Structure 1
Amino acid sequence: MLTSEFDPSQSILENEHNTINLVRWFQQCELLNDYYKSSKIIILQRTNAGYEVITCAGDHLLHPGLVIELANPLIEQFLKAPWQGLQIKLSETQLSLPEQVGQLEYIISRPIRWPDSSDFGCLIVLSESDPLTAHASLAMLEPVQVLLQQDLALMCQNQRISSLSMRDRLTGMLNQYGFLMMAPRQLALGRRFGSHAGILFFELMNNSSYGEITEKDQQVLGRVIQDTIRTADTVS
């Protein structure tokens, strides 16, 4: 399961994830590229900004972090495909690949899912000639597909464990440890995108006409703040 504060539309390149070994992902792409004698192998993630290249192997490499616009029906088919993926001959379809990827004739792909079965992205093999010869099987994509999804599942599991250790039991907001962990990340993101950051303080005080502040009051304040803030904001 994905934790409530986890944003699957944020690129995994945005933050450092100990369970995601991008060097190993690239090496797997290189192995597939050599096996299929293809032009390039790409791993894409669907983010709010578009289809983002996570890694790529082969000729005319696409650099990690390159964002391709979302309005491409063919890539959407790759994402929504069944587990066993798709095989497409581009000249036999009315669709085309994004300009950055190139118009290669033969395409085989496998979808990649988050642990809750929502779309992460896809693994794509692109080739000028048919990669599925007598010596190359479509099934060779499956071990890589499984490995990528296992890495994502482990990342989400670690995120959940980290979330449990960083949150206040009463309000569900970040505790002091959680704030010290998350605040520098928020500031770093702000600097990266050239945006400003600010801090707001709320204090519940005893009132002679209302009485002492109770745990319920703290829970209500915590719930109101968490329901109001943006996804990118941090509350502690």
Structure 2
Amino acid sequence: MLTPDQWVLDESEGSVPLAKWQKTIDVMARVFNAPAGFIVQYAPEGFQVVISSGQASNPYDAGVTVPQDTNLFCKKVVEQQELLYVPDASTDPYWNTNPEVSDDGFCSYLGLPVKWPTGEPFGTICVMDFNATNYQKDYVDLVSELRDLIEADLKILSQYQMISNLAMTDELTGLYNRRGFYSVAQQYIALAKRSKLSLGLLYMDMDGLKRVNDVYGHLAGDQALRRLGKALEETVRESDVAARLSGDEFVMLVAIRNLEQLTQIAERVVDRITKDDIRVSIGSVLMDDSAQTLEYWIGEADRRMYENKNA
């Protein structure tokens, strides 16, 4: 899911409407008869050009990143969260250390802040010129309207991601559901093959859930499942994936070095779950680099889990 600390150009699902934004910025630059127009994103690493107008006169391409401590026009906009119009930067010594002025020769800047749907700064939309300018209110209003379109797209993207997240998340535990696990796990397996990583699979079945439901009611059973989900969430590392596949069946996909480490992770999971007075049967399998499917490995871990349960 795209977050404010992630570059939108790194978003791999293709949900950010970059082609639409490109047309918007190209039109803006033509209307202003300006040599350069941009959408710039702000993140902890600095400022990155997301969209750059297509003229040959534009010195910056999309993907260029500038450190956060650089004296930039866009930095001022993000800091103040308001319109910045500099008709002639050569008349203000403040901009002497701005590389856009000193190195690239820009003289004029008009930019507005762009926000995420949460209200956090996304970055800026701006137009720049090598000559001094005298933009009237209509020009400022135009940039404001284009900014609103960008923010509307970000809101739609956020809503889409929320809906997608709900579709892949188990409502009771907050972990991935079966659909979410298969989607994430397939990507994870592909990455592991490219990166020569080893993966392990843990398959867990809660012991006694039927008795809890029969004796104490389904609300108590749901509470037990939530506690198990929370215990798994606290146990998984950033590189692991945990999910509730169905009823009382849970699964974890973990990055490991060897079988011994997989055993240690399984023991750690069981120890954490036991602290909440919950018992599980668990089966583990080291996924080798064969062409076996994810369904095969889940079935193999499930089989080993039932062997341990019966034992």
**For residues 180-230 of structure 1, what are the alpha-carbon distances to aligned partners after superposition, in whole Å with 9 as ceiling and x for unaligned?**
2333455677789x69574553635538xxx97954343223224435656
Which residue does 1:179 correspond to in 2? 181
| More off after superposition, 197-206 vs 144-153 | 197-206
Match of 2:34 among 38, 52, 74: 38
Structure with the higher strand share, 1 or 2 = 2
The higher radius of gyration belongs to 2
Which residue does 2:130 correspond to in 1? 128
What is the CA–CA distance in structure 2 between the aligned matches of 1:187 and 1:53, rounded to whole Å? Answer: 32
* Structure 2 CA distance for partners of 1:8 and 1:133, relative to 1, 3 Å: closer
Which residue does 2:258 correspond to in 1? none
What is the CA–CA distance in structure 2 between the aligned matches of 1:198 and 1:73, rounded to whole Å? Answer: 46
What is the CA–CA distance in structure 1 between the aligned matches of 2:186 and 2:45, rounded to whole Å? Answer: 23
* Structure 2 CA distance for partners of 1:122 and 1:205, relative to 1, 3 Å: same
Which residue does 2:18 correspond to in 1? 22
Which residue does 2:257 correspond to in 1? none
Which residue does 1:70 correspond to in 2? 68
* Structure 2 CA distance for partners of 1:166 and 1:52, relative to 1, 3 Å: same
CA contact (8 A) 2:78 2:113 kept: yes
* Structure 2 CA distance for partners of 1:187 and 1:202, relative to 1, 3 Å: closer
How much identity, in percent, do the aligned residues show?
A: 22
- Secondary structure of 2:204's match? coil
Residue pairs, 1:120-199, within 5 angstroms? 120-133=122-135, 137-186=139-188, 196=197, 198-199=199-200
* Structure 2 CA distance for partners of 1:223 and 1:132, relative to 1, 3 Å: farther
Amino acid at match of 1:16: E
What is the CA–CA distance in structure 2 between the aligned matches of 1:80 and 1:137, rounded to whole Å? Answer: 23
- What's the TM-score once normalised by structure 1's chain length? 0.78
What is the CA–CA distance in structure 2 between the aligned matches of 1:190 and 1:81, rounded to whole Å? Answer: 43
- Secondary structure of 1:137's match? helix
Structure with the higher helix share, 1 or 2 = 2
Shift of 1:25: 0.7
What is the CA–CA distance in structure 1 between the aligned matches of 2:110 and 2:198, rounded to whole Å? Answer: 44
* Structure 2 CA distance for partners of 1:234 and 1:47, relative to 1, 3 Å: farther
Amino acid at match of 2:69: A
Task: Let me know the Cα RMSD of the aligned residues.
Answer: 3.3
**For residues 85-109 of structure 1, what are the alpha-carbon distances to aligned partners after superposition, in whole Å with 9 as ceiling and x for unaligned?**
1112433142444569834111111
Amino acid at match of 1:120: F
What is the CA–CA distance in structure 1 between the aligned matches of 2:30 and 2:228, rounded to whole Å? Answer: 57
> Is 1:226–2:233 an aligned residue pair?
yes
Shift of 1:136: 6.3
Shift of 1:124: 2.0
Q: For this pair of structures, how many residues does the alignment match?
A: 226
What is the CA–CA distance in structure 1 between the aligned matches of 2:131 and 2:196, rounded to whole Å? Answer: 47
Unaligned runs of 5+ in 1: none
CA contact (8 A) 1:29 1:42 kept: yes
What is the CA–CA distance in structure 2 between the aligned matches of 1:67 and 1:197, rounded to whole Å? Answer: 34
Amino acid at match of 1:80: E
CA contact (8 A) 2:100 2:106 kept: no
What is the CA–CA distance in structure 1 between the aligned matches of 2:191 and 2:79, rounded to whole Å? Answer: 31
| More off after superposition, 94-103 vs 39-48 | 94-103
**For residues 51-101 of structure 1, what are the alpha-carbon distances to aligned partners after superposition, in whole Å with 9 as ceiling and x for unaligned?**
221110132353322222222353332113345x11124331424445698
